[in-house]
Amino acid sequence: MTVLSDLPELLRSARHIVVFTGAGVSAESGISTFRDDLTGLWSRFDVTDLATPDAFRRDPDLVWGWYEWRRMNVLRASPNAGHAAIAAMKRYVPKLTLITQNVDDLHERAGSGSVIHLHGSLFAPRCFACARPAGFADELPDEPEGGRRMAPPECSHCGGHVRPGVVWFGETLPQAALKAAFKAAESCQVLFSIGTSSLVNPAAEIPRVAAQAGAAVVQINPNPTPLDGLARFNLRGPSAQELPRLIENTWQKH
Ligand code: BV8
Ligand code: ZN
């Protein structure tokens, strides 16, 4: 049985660390996690119904309004101590690969560079018809609670609907990002899985690939997840508290 006190030495001796994050890492920035994102206007939907191409085809204003409300929340949020600790870790480790399922830009705003976004970004809208990159309308929803329906902008090239630059359920992930993520998972000594319910595939396979390749999986999550049995270390707490403490115990007290 691995004891928690073994973790700092393992981290100091690692040549390559992968950090794999989900919505939980942004929770302490006030961004609601994926499964509790449906407040107000969207409370009668299941996420997997709303985050799909069909939902957008059926009711573009409802879906675009939801994403603009989420984007507005991200713009108003700040990175938290967990994002900052991940950015700081890069200084202590020979190689660190950051992979996120999140569509916010809080890792980048905390100073992390070359973030692998497996599920796209709220900040890269594109035309649903011709896929050309597109811009946002200037007005943002100003309702703090739940947002409202908003007509998506029209593509200046073909007049099609502009859609969010995220990967919806039933859509394939960006192949280059997925390949880079699996390659990193296969070659690291430690993989952190932080703030994810580990329910969505193929992203949820990444910690398993790392464990199969011999890496130690360190999970940081206040709640149980399907990864519990696989993780060599389970830090049962919020990442904005657990990560700074771990960095201090591992690299700053020495
Ligand atoms: C694909 C972007 C090939 C959009 C997301 C049936 C039909 C069709 C498909 C499927 C099917 N069955 C299965 C599938 C595959 C499907 C899937 O896995 N479905 C699940 C629901 C079973 N996957 C796909 O469709 C993928 N594409 O497979 O293509 C294909 C093609 C056609 C047909 C079949 C297959 C695409 C998946 C990508 C979807 N897009 N996001 C948007 O943001 O709107 S997924 C979204 O949910 C997130 O990006 C994330 O990846 C995922 C899970 O969310 P989490 O990040 O884990 O967040 P969650 O809220 O769940 O959990 C938060 C965690 O944080 C909790 O554990 C909590 O305890 C913890 N926490 C809370 N506070 C804190 C904390 N942790 C630390 N600190 C805290 N303070
Ligand atoms: Zn177009």
Percent of the chain with pLDDT over 90: 85
Centre of ligand 1 to C-alpha 134, Å, is 25
Q: What is the identity of the amino acid at 123? A: F
Centre of ligand 2 to C-alpha 71, Å, is 22
**Is there a contact between 163 and 129 (Cβ–Cβ < 8 Å)?**
no
Q: Which of 37-51, 160-174, 191-205, 208-222 shows the lowest per-residue confidence on average (mean pLDDT)?
A: 37-51
Pocket of ligand 1 (CB under 6 A): 22-24, 27-28, 33-35, 48, 51, 101, 103, 119, 166-172, 195-197, 199-201, 203, 220-223, 225, 238-239
pTM: 0.96
Q: Which two tokens stand for residue 111?
A: 């100073």
Q: Which two tokens stand for residue 231?
A: 């993780």
Average pLDDT, the chain: 93
**Is there a contact between 218 and 14 (Cβ–Cβ < 8 Å)?**
no
pLDDT at 33: 86
Percent of the chain with pLDDT over 70: 94
**Is there a contact between 58 and 51 (Cβ–Cβ < 8 Å)?**
no
Q: What is the pLDDT of residues 136-195, one digit of tens each?
A: 987 776 665 667 899 999 999 999 999 999 999 999 999 999 999 999 999 999 999 999
Distance CA 162, CA 134 (A): 7
Domains and CATH numbers, the chain: 1-30+79-119+173-254 (3.40.50.1220), 32-76+120-166 (3.30.1600.10)
